[in-house]
Amino acid sequence: MKKNSINPCKISVIKTLSYSSFFGFPLSIDEIIKNLISQNNFSDKLIKKNLEELVNAKIVRKTKGRYIISGVKNIDREKRLKNTSEIIEKNKSYLKILSRIPWIKMIALTGSVANQNSDKKADIDLLFITESNRLWICRGLVFIVLKIVGQLPSDKSKRDICPNIFIEEGNMGWPKKKRNLYVAQNIISMKPYLWRDEIYLNFINANRWVGKYYPNFIIDFSKDVKKKKLRKNFIMNFIESLAMKVQILHMKKDITTETVNKKLIHFNKNDSSKRILSGYKKIYKDTLKKLEKDLEKRDKIKNPQIEVGSKDITRKRKDTKKITKQIKQTESKGEK
């Protein structure tokens, strides 16, 4: 059975559920439609039809009104949602303090908290967007505030708040070499806690490439957002330059694969993207093989083929010769 015998919509549904199934995270029909991994657009009706067919073929399992790849153990979404709400509530006061720092234009929750898939020990991953030429000042202030309120223990594994990404507003497009399904999923699932001057819309607009993976992730850009002119403040620019030099010098021994420059700081020492993408691909390929076998089986039942062995052919030839001989004998007797 060739892969192209499975229609593109069905393949997209399998891809979408394979990704969420890596986390044991079942999706509702609406979530499947919204988060459909595809390069094409399909109607809701067609997506639902193909999903139903996958359930009937036991390729996909339905649990509590949600869907997951068969054979994958699902997490308890209600429990994870409760954990996520408790984590946000616990750190709400610290987020409010951080939101008062000047020059910060957006604070967004990312990772498991943004996806409402947190266990009890999960931390909050934060993405910050700052004004131009204020990136390193903002990062410095964020870490000072967290240190003051006791949320920056030296043991990083014990931190409840992780300010991992700082982006300057003039450089919001994700680096082309690092664009993939993992990053795209993190962008569409991020939850802005604070955003000013339509900065979230500008960020999504700068990263429209996510539509290559998620065509149903639609944001209305009809509102024209005017770019503010960059004000030159030589004193603050000098402080920004100094803040960058001091912080890089301090973190130099810890820098490995992280991205650190004037316009982007991305700390991701324990990069899980390769592990997640590899796991997703395995589930997807295994599921596709299972579906192909199921289709082959159904095809054989629908169109049975009679297989004739070599022994049967030999036997039939002998029988034919015997019958021919008998006919000839009968004909010769009749002639006599």
Supply the DSSP string of 107-126, one letter for each residue: EEEEHHHHTT---TT--EEE
More confident residue, 317 or 27: 27
Q: For 171-196, how does the pLDDT look when each residue is reduced to its tens digit (9 = 90+)? A: 999 999 999 999 999 999 999 999 99
Is 4 a residue whose pLDDT tops 90? no
Q: For 64-99, how does the pLDDT look when each residue is reduced to its tens digit (9 = 90+)? A: 999 999 999 999 999 999 999 999 999 999 999 999
CA neighbor of 114 nearest in space, from 193, 220, 194, 221 = 193
Residues 282 and 259 in one domain: no
* Average pLDDT for 53-71: 97
Is 56 a residue whose pLDDT tops 60? yes
Q: Which of 220, 252, 270 is the last residue of a domain?
A: 270
| Confidence class for position 309, pLDDT limits 50, 70, 90 | low
Output the CA–CA distances (angstroms, integers) from residue 252 to 139, 256, 259, in the order listed. Answer: 16, 9, 12
| 101-132 core/surface letters (b: 16 or more CB in 10 A; e: else) | bebbbbbbbbbbbbbbbbeeebbbbbbbbbbb
Q: Establish if 288 belongs to a structural domain.
A: yes
Q: Does the reported pTM lie above 0.85? A: no
| Pairwise CA distance, residues 74 & 207, whole Å | 31
Q: For 205-264, how does the pLDDT look when each residue is reduced to its tens digit (9 = 90+)? A: 999 999 999 999 987 665 555 555 656 788 999 999 999 999 988 887 776 667 888 899
Tokens 């991020």, located at residue: 190
- How many C-beta atoms surround the C-beta of residue 227 within 10 A? 9
Single-letter residue type at 39: Q
| Pairwise CA distance, residues 28 & 22, whole Å | 16
More confident residue, 307 or 290: 290
- Long-range contacts made by residues 260-265, C-beta under 8 angstroms, separation at least 24? 262/135, 262/136, 262/168, 263/135, 263/167, 263/168, 263/170, 263/171, 264/135, 264/165, 264/166, 264/167, 264/168, 264/171, 264/175, 265/135, 265/136, 265/139, 265/165, 265/166
Q: Establish if 136 belongs to a structural domain.
A: yes
Q: Establish if 302 belongs to a structural domain.
A: no
Q: Establish if 116 belongs to a structural domain.
A: yes
Residues 139 and 82 in one domain: yes
Res 271: pLDDT = 80
Q: Regarding beta strands 191-195 and 161-168, do their DSSP bridges make them parallel or antiparallel, or are they unpaired?
A: unpaired
Is 43 a residue whose pLDDT tops 50? yes
Structural domain that includes position 330? 308-335
Res 225: pLDDT = 53
- Of the listed ranges 143-152, 249-258, 311-320, the one predicted with least confidence: 311-320
Residues 40 and 70 in one domain: yes
Res 155: pLDDT = 86
- How many C-beta atoms surround the C-beta of residue 262 within 10 A? 14
- The tokens of 90 are what? 């616990």
Residues 88 and 213 in one domain: yes
Residues 163 and 254 in one domain: yes
Backbone angles phi, psi at 243, to 5 degrees: -60, -40
Res 51: pLDDT = 98
Q: Establish if 127 belongs to a structural domain.
A: yes
Residues 87 and 215 in one domain: yes
CA neighbor of 205 nearest in space, from 169, 241, 242 = 169
Residue 156: which CATH number? Answer: 3.30.460
Share of residues in the chain with pLDDT > 90 (%): 70
Q: For 8-18, how does the pLDDT look when each residue is reduced to its tens digit (9 = 90+)? A: 999 999 999 99
Residues 95 and 194 in one domain: yes
Residues 39 and 110 in one domain: no
State the total domains in the chain.
3
Is 114 a residue whose pLDDT tops 80? yes
Residues 223 and 174 in one domain: yes
Residues 84 and 216 in one domain: yes
* Sheet with 161-168, edge to edge strand ranges: 191-195, 104-110, 124-130, 161-168, 264-266, 259-260
Residue 43: which CATH number? Answer: 1.10.10.10
Tell me the helix, strand and coil percentages in the chain, rounded to 5.
55, 10, 30
- Of the listed ranges 135-139, 197-201, 218-222, 265-269, the one predicted with least confidence: 218-222
Backbone angles phi, psi at 259, to 5 degrees: -100, 120
Residues 90 and 206 in one domain: yes
Residues 48 and 96 in one domain: no
Tokens 């994870």, located at residue: 80
- The tokens of 14 are what? 């399998």
